[in-house]
């Protein structure tokens, strides 16, 4: 069940077809704990398996931060349990923790939107970049501070940052631990759109509702095709498109979409 009770998350559905996961550690600026990574994996899996939910919104509680990366305060008892004092334990914790969350988001065949208030830095920026779209408030701050304390962009940032902004800019951001305002982050490719702080939630929800109203088969297949096309050739992408239309073109959604167009009315897509 998607709207389950968690210790570190809030899960709800603010509109039809829209799922919302809120990182709920505002006292720690929504820094992730090992427990949060486990709960995020469970919540994302529940969203993935619920055909009534078509779009995921990911955000953070409060106004100070979306997520500030891993909790390095020393107050996470499950961190030491996962690591168990062994060098290899750090790798296991990362693999089974935030890296698994990033992969779960990237593998979703439904669209996801990160709504960013406040800081999204280090692993928090990687988490936002794992979503398909990022809508940031005008006062948001985004960047990578991992190297500042000798840590690495290990949650996926080493791949996500260069893919979003280019290798040179990603290296400059990480090695000099730079943090950008929202308009600069948008210009650099880290943010899809900037909205006024007081209009951020309404704009993010507007986009989610618009996506939820689209034909689910077409949305899912389009996302999968484009994501795969980034790492393959044009020829291979065209073959994928040929396979995809065998699923989408005969669907009830396409028949409904064409009928609605001819009858000059909004379509009602059911994902069939």
Give the model confidence (pLDDT) of 4-20 as tens digits: 899 999 999 999 999 99
Please determine, for residue 87, whether its predicted confidence score (pLDDT) is greater than 90. Answer: no
Do 156 and 245 sit in the same domain of this protein?
no
What percent of the chain stands above pLDDT 70? 96
In CATH, what number is assigned to the domain containing residue 121? 3.90.226.10
Average pLDDT over residues 177-184: 98
Do 152 and 237 sit in the same domain of this protein?
no
**What pLDDT shows up at residue 187?**
98
Residue 234: φ, ψ to 5°: -60, -45
Measure the CA–CA gap between 233 and 31, rounded to whole angstroms: 38
**What pLDDT shows up at residue 81?**
60
Do 32 and 132 sit in the same domain of this protein?
yes
Average pLDDT over residues 185-194: 98
Please determine, for residue 242, whether its predicted confidence score (pLDDT) is greater than 80. Answer: yes
Do 98 and 167 sit in the same domain of this protein?
yes
In a domain, 134, yes or no: yes
In a domain, 1, yes or no: no
Closest CA to 13 of 38, 47, 37, 49: 47
Average pLDDT over residues 30-57: 96
Confidence of residue 73 (pLDDT cuts 50, 70, 90): confident
In a domain, 231, yes or no: yes
Do 166 and 254 sit in the same domain of this protein?
no
Please determine, for residue 258, whether its predicted confidence score (pLDDT) is greater than 90. Answer: no
Do 118 and 244 sit in the same domain of this protein?
no
Q: What is the tally of structural domains in the chain? A: 2
In a domain, 271, yes or no: no
Do 194 and 65 sit in the same domain of this protein?
yes
Do 187 and 226 sit in the same domain of this protein?
no
Confidence of residue 254 (pLDDT cuts 50, 70, 90): confident
Average pLDDT over residues 139-151: 95
**What pLDDT shows up at residue 79?**
58
In a domain, 2, yes or no: no
Please determine, for residue 185, whether its predicted confidence score (pLDDT) is greater than 70. Answer: yes
Dihedral over Cα of 244, 246, 247, 251: its sign: positive
Average pLDDT over residues 173-199: 98
Residue with tokens 């899912």: 220
Maximum average pLDDT range among 158-167, 223-232, 242-251: 158-167
Please tell me which residue, 42 or 240, carries the higher pLDDT value.
42
**What pLDDT shows up at residue 216?**
92
Give the domain range for residue 72: 9-212
Please tell me which residue, 52 or 85, carries the higher pLDDT value.
52
Do 113 and 245 sit in the same domain of this protein?
no
Confidence of residue 80 (pLDDT cuts 50, 70, 90): low
| DSSP per-residue letters across 52-78 | T--EEEEEESSSSEEE-SB--SS--HH
Ordered alpha helix ranges (H), 112-271: 123-129, 157-165, 167-175, 182-188, 200-212, 216-229, 234-248, 252-263
The average confidence (pLDDT) of the chain is 93
Average pLDDT over residues 150-161: 94
Do 241 and 161 sit in the same domain of this protein?
no
Please determine, for residue 77, whether its predicted confidence score (pLDDT) is greater than 70. Answer: no
Do 239 and 167 sit in the same domain of this protein?
no
pLDDT digits (tens, 9 = 90+) for 100-139: 999 999 999 999 999 999 999 999 999 999 999 999 999 9
Instruction: Please state the pTM of the whole predicted model.
Output: 0.92
Do 188 and 98 sit in the same domain of this protein?
yes
């Amino acid at each position: 069940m998607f709207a389950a009770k968690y210790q570190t998350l809030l899960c709800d559905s603010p509109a039809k077809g829209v799922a919302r996961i809120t990182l709920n550690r505002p006292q720690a600026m929504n820094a992730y704990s090992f427990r949060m990574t486990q709960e995020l994996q469970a919540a994302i899996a529940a969203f993935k398996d619920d055909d009534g939910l078509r779009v995921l919104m990911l955000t953070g509680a409060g106004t100070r931060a979306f997520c500030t990366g891993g909790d390095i305060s020393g107050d996470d008892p499950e961190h030491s349990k996962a690591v168990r004092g062994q060098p290899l334990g750090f790798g296991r914790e990362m693999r089974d923790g935030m890296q698994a969350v990033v992969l779960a988001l990237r593998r979703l065949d439904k669209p996801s939107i990160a709504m960013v208030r406040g800081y999204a830095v280090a692993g928090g920026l990687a988490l936002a970049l794992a979503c398909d779209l990022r809508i940031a408030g005008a006062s948001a701050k985004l960047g990578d501070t991992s190297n500042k304390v000798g840590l690495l962009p290990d949650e996926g940032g080493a791949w996500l940052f260069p893919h979003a902004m280019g290798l040179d800019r990603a290296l400059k951001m990480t090695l000099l631990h730079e943090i950008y305002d929202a308009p600069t982050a948008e210009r650099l490719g880290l943010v899809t759109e900037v909205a006024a702080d007081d209009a951020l939630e309404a704009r993010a929800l507007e986009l989610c509702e618009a996506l939820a109203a689209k034909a689910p088969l077409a949305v899912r297949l389009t996302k999968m095709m484009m994501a795969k096309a980034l790492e393959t050739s044009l020829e291979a992408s065209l073959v994928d498109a040929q396979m995809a239309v065998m699923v989408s073109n005969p669907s009830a959604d396409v028949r409904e979409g064409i009928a609605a167009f001819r009858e000059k009315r909004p379509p009602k897509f059911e994902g069939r």
